[in-house]
Structure 1
Amino acid sequence: MRALLWFKLDLRLDDHPALQAGLEAERLLPVFVLDPALLQESEFGSRRLGVHRARFLLESLAALDGALRQRNSHLLVIQGTAEQVIAQLVDQFDLQQVLTLEEIAPHERAQLARVQRQLGNIPLRQAAGNSLLRAEELPCPSNQLPQVYSQFRSLIEERLPVFQPDPPPKRLPPLPEGAQQLLQAVPTLSQLGLGEPLSVAASRFPFSGGEAAAQARLRDYLWEGQGVRQYMHSRNGPIGSEDSSKLSPWLANGSLSARRAVAELRRHEAQFGRNDSTYRLWLELLWRDFFRWTLLRHGSALFKAGGVPATARAPQQLDRRFDSWCHGRTGMPLVDAGMRELAATGFISNRSRQVVASFLVNDLQQDWRFGAAWFEEHLIDYDPASNWGNWAYLAAVGSDPQRNRAFNALRQARAYDPEATYVSLWLPELRSVPQHLRHTPFLLSHLQLDALNYPRLEQIPEAWRPYLTSVA
């Protein structure tokens, strides 16, 4: 058998079912297709792939190529559309099948269908994807899973699954004859027309793409530093590098298998004991899977203004306040700090994401889909199911919309940044303001704010009143 192994956002050798299937091939051609359409504006005015996520992707591709080279193979990275590139390679090297992982998002599933049509009689074999749970491991058919997370969790935990991920192979089949001539270096950001991002000293964590970096972080968080044992109490911190697991970027582009992460978590618990923190990390990984199965079930409905229930509750307007939000110029310091960190690094904490998203939807009354698209462009851990699922959930248009997810931004600031350390880090113009006023500069005079070159908040929400007293 001569096969093409099509990598997408599964950029690892560990626990990779399609790769395992390709080990029996006589010749195996690993391929990644970089579609230039990802760099074009979407219907929401944002690119699907921004500079930070692109940097992380290119680093992951280079790392994957290095790992393949150690095993008698290479990664062929080609720019173009998958349906054209893959069909051409199959024809050029007389390959007999294409191996890849299954997808859950509508855009990616449609792409798989186009590739299969272009291949004609050549089979496109899809192995289990990047979900934590596989279809055969679910307690019921996927279309019958509960649409409320707490019920989903209870159902899964009635029969707690055991994960046994396959280790990476020591050696791979050789490339097809002549494939070496097509090999070239992974493109740079400049070659993609993006330019290099500036190094930011204030960055919360030095993320590097690739499977080796993912495995190193997993070892450090679970075994060497054991930060996981404090996760329950530290996970909402906005600054510390050990506040949370930081595994999400590698999970998002598939440099780390979710099944490997949970298998290691279970091994940690077996050796050191389970506590509230290790259990909470498991619940967060299960949330990721819940969103994946929700997306598979509802498809394109998740990307519509009315969301899964097709209601009109979420605001659909868009005005200049959206641009102010994007660039961290709303006049609410905690929100502005989060948005500036996102633009500068491609990452913000989960708590910050909820605060800035809630502010856009509930305080500024802007269309949630544009916020989700802005996150898609900038987040290095962008994942369609988690990103759009979380935004829809917060905008009350998800599959579990009954809870009011509005966040009081000033209350959040008092609770999670009481010394205004985070705000001071990302809003240098406020560092000269007395510490007790850095969360409420809108209480200063117009002349003072103009001198600081910081925008004035247009309206102080009534719900903030109880949290204004401590600034006097």
Structure 2
Amino acid sequence: MRRVLLWFKQDLRLDDHPAVQAALDADRVLPLYVFDPGQLQAGPFGSRRLGVHRARFLMESLAALDGELRQRGSGLLVLQGRAEQLIPRLAEQLDLDEVLTLEEIAPEECAQLASLRSSLGATSLRELPANHLLQASDLPCAASELPGVFSQFRERVEQRLPVFQPRPAPARLPPLPDNANAYFAALPSLSQLGLGEPLSVAGSAFPFSGGEPAGQARLRDYLWLSQGVRQYKDTRNGLIGSEYSSKFSPWLANGSLSPRRVMAELRRHEAQYGGNDSTRGLWLQLLWRDFFRWTLLRHGAALFRANGLKATARAPRQLDPRFDSWCQGRTGMPLVDANMRELAATGFMSNRGRQVVASYLVGDLQQDWRYGAAWFEEHLLDYDPASNWGNWAYLAGVASDPRGQSQFNALRQARQYDPVGAYVSLWLPELRGVPQHLRHTPFLLSHLQLSAMGYPRLERVPEHWKPYLPDAA
């Protein structure tokens, strides 16, 4: 009798899951997720690896996965601790023959797999293809030879465009091993984890729940019901509401949604309704995600260094009270502050907002980019190491791209993407009484007025903002 442990990590789904498919021919299967409480401790940059919003989304996703498994005659065992310590013990106690899981790409997770393999004894560890959009067989060359610039990567990939054929979730799974039920317990609550319950925020751009059913529902809605994908190019720089972008990223990040399933559905949509600039735009965003994943796989720990992938780069190393002001949304630059408060309140921020606040931290405030990346790691619902650290390195000018630091003019961005100040009014209630033409430039008000509103005064108005100041100024 073959007994298998199916170890879920950032792949919390049954659809298009290579390890799930590999487990189907076993006689007994124990699905497992290990929650490491160490993620709730402060890391080297002062932020936690996991904050309250992503923890909530994770627990919702685990509950949903357990429900899907129970419908198929199984269930999800959730344990707290270190996987490399718990899994060998479990394998011995339940006489398991094999551990099935997906490959990893980040250095710490790869090291954990290596440690587990050495501790398993007679139990084997099999790693199935990782959560990429493009598998190794889809690449135009060996992973080590992939271009370090996205445009070249895209061109090479599109020369031999892959066909995506994801395998659906199985109708049934093998039963649990004998005596496995004795290990099962209720999912820990956020309060039990010491995080508290986040408040629901009406203005959230991501009012959705975690889990595979919610992710699949959003995919159907965006591609087939509302067909919001057909306007993606025109709306993707939006700041308010749930429909300006696909919002797939949180489900993709914890694996509740397969990138290959998204692409298969996108191609099916294009076959039925025709492709356009918007459907191509969504394809390119998924390809960016994969580009960062393959970059992390190639370069490993180098991506997390101050100078990133460029030995010659000199990224800012400062860290002073201005970083704390940035985190709290109290820099005195309204567009930056509004985005940072949305992040703290909801765990989500638009793609446009992320670029603006990251550029402002590195370019205008001259702070160490790694602390910003770590702050995002704690707070973002859709955090994944490759996209987060890859994007930050790119904006800080320390990625493999030959261009230097990408600095945005924050006031110009505000004028372009929030022309009437609706977004800053939504997240900065203290500015709602300010005349519309001054909502992005409250620093032009008197000290007395700003003090009465309780909004911080900008220390210095950058020279490159001058063309975007109100005419009356």
* Structure-2 residue corresponding to 1:308: 309
Q: Is there any run of 5+ residues in structure 2 with no aligned partner, and where?
A: none
* Structure-2 residue corresponding to 1:18: 19
Are residues 89 and 178 of structure 1, via their aligned partners in 2, closer, same or farther at CA, if it must alter by over 3 Å? same
SS at match of 2:32: strand
Q: TM-score, normalised by structure 2?
A: 0.99
Are the aligned partners of 1:98 and 1:125 in contact in 2 as well (CA < 8 Å)? Answer: yes
1:363 partner amino acid: D
* Structure-1 residue corresponding to 2:65: 64
| Pairing 1:178–2:179 present | yes
- CA drift of 1:255 comes to 0.1
| Pairing 1:109–2:110 present | yes
- CA drift of 1:310 comes to 2.6
| Pairing 1:282–2:283 present | yes
SS at match of 1:98: strand
User: CA deviation digits over 1:238-269, x for unaligned, max 9?
Assistant: 00211000000000000000000000000000
SS at match of 2:116: helix
Runs (4+) of structure 1 exceeding 3 A deviation are 469-472
SS at match of 1:300: helix
* Structure-1 residue corresponding to 2:36: 35
- CA drift of 1:471 comes to 5.8
* Structure-2 residue corresponding to 1:143: 144
User: CA deviation digits over 1:312-362, x for unaligned, max 9?
Assistant: 421011000000000000000000000000000000000000000000000
| Pairing 1:163–2:164 present | yes
Q: TM-score, normalised by structure 1?
A: 0.99
**Equivalence map 1:398-413=2 (5 Å):** 398-413=399-414
* Structure-1 residue corresponding to 2:443: 442
Q: Percentage identity across aligned positions?
A: 73
User: CA deviation digits over 1:419-444, x for unaligned, max 9?
Assistant: 10000000000001101100000001
**Equivalence map 1:406-421=2 (5 Å):** 406-421=407-422
- CA drift of 1:404 comes to 4.2
SS at match of 1:167: coil
Are the aligned partners of 1:335 and 1:355 in contact in 2 as well (CA < 8 Å)? Answer: yes
1:158 partner amino acid: Q
| Pairing 1:371–2:366 present | no
User: CA deviation digits over 1:362-402, x for unaligned, max 9?
Assistant: 00000000000000000000010000000000000001141
Aligned partners of 1:310 and 1:25: how far apart in 2?
A: 49
- CA drift of 1:309 comes to 1.2
Q: Is there any run of 5+ residues in structure 1 with no aligned partner, and where?
A: none
- CA drift of 1:120 comes to 2.5
Aligned partners of 2:6 and 2:242: how far apart in 1?
A: 36
* Structure-2 residue corresponding to 1:317: 318
- CA drift of 1:206 comes to 0.8
Question: Which deviates more from structure 2 when the two are superposed, residues 101-110 or residues 394-403?
Answer: 394-403
1:52 partner amino acid: H
User: CA deviation digits over 1:13-47, x for unaligned, max 9?
Assistant: 00000010000000000000001110100000000
Root-mean-square deviation (CA), in Å? Answer: 0.8
Are the aligned partners of 1:440 and 1:471 in contact in 2 as well (CA < 8 Å)? Answer: no
Size of the aligned set, in residue pairs, is 472
**Equivalence map 1:70-469=2 (5 Å):** 70-469=71-470
Are the aligned partners of 2:394 and 2:405 in contact in 1 as well (CA < 8 Å)? Answer: no
Aligned partners of 1:246 and 1:417: how far apart in 2?
A: 20
2:161 partner amino acid: L
Are the aligned partners of 2:102 and 2:130 in contact in 1 as well (CA < 8 Å)? Answer: yes
Are residues 470 and 220 of structure 1, via their aligned partners in 2, closer, same or farther at CA, if it must alter by over 3 Å? farther
SS at match of 1:78: strand
